[in-house]
Chain A
Amino acid sequence: MASRQHRENALLASPLVLFLLLILGFPTVLSLIYGFSETSFETLMQPQFSGLQNFRDVLGDPTFWQAAGFSLRFGLITAVLQCALGLALAVYLAPLVRAHPWTVAILIIPMIVAPAMMGLMYRLVLHEFAGPLPHYLYQWFGWSPSFLGPAHVFKTVVLAETLQWTPFAFLLFLTAYQSIPSELREAASVDGARPLRLFWKIEWPLMLPTVFVALFIRFIDGFRVFDNIYTLVGSGPGGSTTSMSIYIYETFLRRGEIGKAMAAAILLFLTAFLLLALGQWLTRRRRP
């Protein structure tokens, strides 16, 4: 009986395990081989073992550190902005959503548009001559910044990312807000608590775990950003919007430095792994 169960269990898990081994396990082995080898697209089949040379190249590349800094700043700033905006919207619009649930569908539209398309759409929106935004800025203020120029491009991509993914934070906070037992609110308002006090004393503490989750998810997503920045400005003026993902992509396909790109990908993997472990350790500590 027990052995039949064992066989059954193995059979039940096998489709997923085989799929993962094939699509991710094999490539992982490849990336380890190529990460420690000297290769080009011409000599793809004959990787020459080169020890830690690729890692030394990556760590000695100022562009790599610039990209790491960009991703870190981008992830942190967008996560904080999205969560602040999303929280404010969720708390303020909750009564409206309760009365008219369909409003949620309208609010989440930006999330259903591909980030790559959003980047392309911003190219139209911000275009000097064809773009509506510069047009109205000129009309109303007689002036429009060069959104994609070196001085403003960081703010522009941060804004584009924030506006697209604020609905995600909004949605998480709305769910958390709606699940606060109404007796708690009623008890507080019977005691004469004003809305602001109600928020800080009752709602905010109850929503705090969700705030951490939302910040973490949005940070991870911002840190690995590729699509919208790539379609909007590529690596940006002077490489100023080169995120980690864009750095690896360009090292690989544009410059054909396979080993170096793999080494950078391995470093990125280790970083992401550490971040995840840290995130999980923190959440586990919070609920004993």
Chain B
Amino acid sequence: MKPRLTLRWIVFAVAVFVMNFPVISTLVTAFKSPGEVSRNPSLWIETPTFENFATVLTTSDRLNIYNYLWNSTVAAGIGAVLPIVVAFPLAWAIVRRGVGRAILFPLVVNLRALPLIIFAIPIYMMFSVAGLLDTRLGLGLILAVVNLPLALMLLVNAVAEIPHEIEEAAHMDGARLPRLLFRIVLPLCRPALITTFIFGFITAWNEFLFGLMLTTSKAVPMTVGASFFFATSGGGVQWGVAAAVMVVAALPPLALGLVMYRRITGSLVAGAVKG
């Protein structure tokens, strides 16, 4: 007996439309001319135009979208790679030798549930002394902390799935620990490394609170930069331009997420079930 899907398609379409209504509205508005935006707030575009995108991409030095995009790319890159670097050796040690299973592992994993604002203030003070305020490196470092719990969990899962025999065989062949780790375990973990990186990059790109607090001008990330376009300077918000900015800002994580959706959903579920 095959279940009828027609009604399910309708429910699916309604759910997608309602949940994505802001995204759809933004996308539509981004293609309306300034005149049309003030005249026609409906979801129908009378005369589609790329005007807003042209404005955004040739924007002045005060609101430079290329800077925001570059800052987000660098900071999110650091925020996605660093957790893998520091968590990988420990993940192996946790699985194969039980190192840190009692305290360190639960401590790191539970970090994820803490409100970020708790760290934001002392880190602001520390960064102001260390000269890391308003730098991409500083922002990247703290984004790495945000990503660390899930990175450690995903890597622990990955190492645990490697058959013991492979490592034992290598051990018999006299492979020392560094060689074992980097020549044998690391390549076998590649799928998990990619997932961890993608997931971490999206999370870091989408982060807002630390960007808001720890940057002011040079290192402002895209999420914070986008909110600048909503600051009313005189004549109110230019909705078409603001919408175009958001489309550009949301595009990188959306493209990554849609292409890699299987990995994303898998790691979300893995993260939740273990936590």
Q: Which residues of A contact B (CB under 8 A)?
A: 5, 8-9, 11-13, 15-17, 19-20, 23-24, 26-28, 30-31, 34, 44, 89, 92-93, 95-96, 99, 103-118, 120-125, 127, 129-136, 160, 163-164, 166-168, 171-172, 175, 213-214, 217, 220, 223-224, 226-227, 230-231, 244-245, 248-249, 252-253, 258, 261-262, 265-266, 268-269, 272-273, 276
Interface of A is mostly: helix
Proximity bits, B84-111, A CB within 8 Å = 1, else 0: 0111011011000101100010001011
The stretch among B14-22, B54-62, B165-173 that forms the contact with chain A is B14-22
Nearest first, the 6 A-B pairs at minimum CB distance are A27-B122, A114-B206, A224-B115, A121-B22, A116-B208, A112-B257
What is the CA–CA distance of A124 and B12 in the complex, to the nearest angstrom?
A: 25
Contact of A108 among B9, B93, B264 (CB under 8 A): B264
Known contacts A9-B93, A113-B250, A114-B205; A27/B125 CB under 8 A: yes
**Listed A/B pairs (25) with beta-carbon separation below 8 Å:** A5-B97, A11-B89, A13-B89, A13-B99, A16-B104, A20-B148, A23-B144, A24-B119, A27-B123, A27-B125, A30-B122, A34-B125, A92-B11, A107-B12, A108-B265, A109-B23, A112-B202, A112-B254, A114-B206, A121-B22, A125-B21, A132-B42, A133-B21, A245-B209, A265-B122
Contact of A105 among B8, B202, B226, B258 (CB under 8 A): B258
- CB nearest neighbor in B for A4: B177
Please report which residues of chain B, range 124-154, place their CB below 8 angstroms from some CB of chain A when the two chains form the complex.
124-126, 128, 141-142, 144-145, 148, 152
Q: Are B115 and A175 in contact (CB under 8 A)?
A: no
User: What's the least CB distance linking B8 to chain A, in Å?
Assistant: 4
What is the CA–CA distance of A31 and B121 in the complex, to the nearest angstrom?
A: 8
- CB nearest neighbor in A for B89: A12
Please give 19 more A-B residue pairs, beta carbons under 8 A apart, in addition to A13-B89, A116-B226, A127-B239. A93-B11, A95-B3, A96-B12, A109-B254, A109-B257, A112-B264, A120-B242, A121-B23, A121-B25, A121-B246, A124-B25, A129-B38, A135-B42, A163-B21, A226-B115, A248-B121, A252-B121, A258-B121, A272-B113
A-B Cβ contacts below 8 A, count: 269
User: What's the least CB distance linking B179 to chain A, in Å?
Assistant: 13
Interface of B is mostly: helix
What is the CA–CA distance of A243 and B177 in the complex, to the nearest angstrom?
A: 49
Q: Are B20 and A109 in contact (CB under 8 A)?
A: yes
| Chain A contacts for B19, CB-based, 8 A | 107, 109-110, 163-164, 166-167
The answer to whether the Cβ of B41 comes within 8 Å of any Cβ in the partner chain is yes
| Chain B contacts for A103, CB-based, 8 A | 12
Known contacts A27-B123, A117-B226, A117-B246; A124/B8 CB under 8 A: no
The answer to whether the Cβ of B196 comes within 8 Å of any Cβ in the partner chain is no
Known contacts A23-B123, A117-B250; A95/B261 CB under 8 A: no
User: What's the least CB distance linking A103 to chain B, in Å?
Assistant: 6
- CB nearest neighbor in B for A98: B3
Q: Are B126 and A132 in contact (CB under 8 A)?
A: no
Q: Which residues of B contact A (CB under 8 A)?
A: 3, 5, 8-9, 11-12, 15-16, 18-23, 25-26, 28-29, 37-38, 41-43, 82, 85-87, 89-90, 92-93, 97, 99-100, 104, 108, 110-111, 113-126, 128, 141-142, 144-145, 148, 152, 177, 202, 205-209, 212-213, 223-224, 226-227, 230, 237, 239, 242-243, 246, 249-250, 253-254, 257-258, 261, 264-265, 268-269, 272-273, 275
What is the CA–CA distance of A8 and B258 in the complex, to the nearest angstrom?
A: 40
Q: Are A272 and B115 in contact (CB under 8 A)?
A: yes
What is the CA–CA distance of A220 and B265 in the complex, to the nearest angstrom?
A: 20
What is the CA–CA distance of A104 and B207 in the complex, to the nearest angstrom?
A: 23
Q: Are A104 and B261 in contact (CB under 8 A)?
A: yes
